[in-house]
Amino acid sequence: MFLRPIAAISGIYDAAVGLFLLFGADRMAALFGVAPAHPPIFSDLDALFLIAVGVGYYWPWRDPRGARWYLWVMGPGLKGAGALAFLLDYFVRGQSPASFLLFAASDGSLALLTLAALMFSGRAANSTTPQVPTPQ
């Protein structure tokens, strides 16, 4: 089952970005070639949001079947919408620097991996084919 590793990777990714943003917002802004958020509360709130999302991945890591809903909401839902938002802002508005496409790629990849794992595990769970052959 791929849901546990995806939950772990997604949780670590979100929490790490959130912590880096919380404790190094100015360095992160410089790394991506943008001005720091003004007022700083904007980056602080984004950081807290990311940390909370990352912590939330504990439940699907612990119980992938029972917390599939979290993977659906945060994976294809939030990460997919976030990747789309980064792409639209870059290509349509022309407001984001090219360095932000890294977030589009990472969020988009995690969204697609989560979607594939959810679809595959859903099919496997709904399969009527026995997993172990029965003697005739």
Residue 125 belongs to some domain of the structure: no
Residue 130 belongs to some domain of the structure: no
**Distances, alpha carbon 84 to alpha carbons 32, 63, 68, 108, 109, in Å:** 19, 29, 22, 8, 12
Average pLDDT over residues 114-123: 90
Average pLDDT over residues 108-136: 74
> In total, how many domains does the chain have?
1
**What is the per-residue pLDDT for 122?**
75
Angle of helix 101-126 relative to helix 80-88, nearest 10 degrees, comes to: 150
Q: What is the pLDDT of residues 30-75, one digit of tens each?
A: 999 999 999 999 999 999 999 999 999 999 999 999 999 999 999 9
Domain of residue 67 covers 3-119
Residue 61 belongs to some domain of the structure: yes
Confidence of residue 134 (pLDDT cuts 50, 70, 90): very low
One-letter identity of residue 116: A
Residue 105 belongs to some domain of the structure: yes
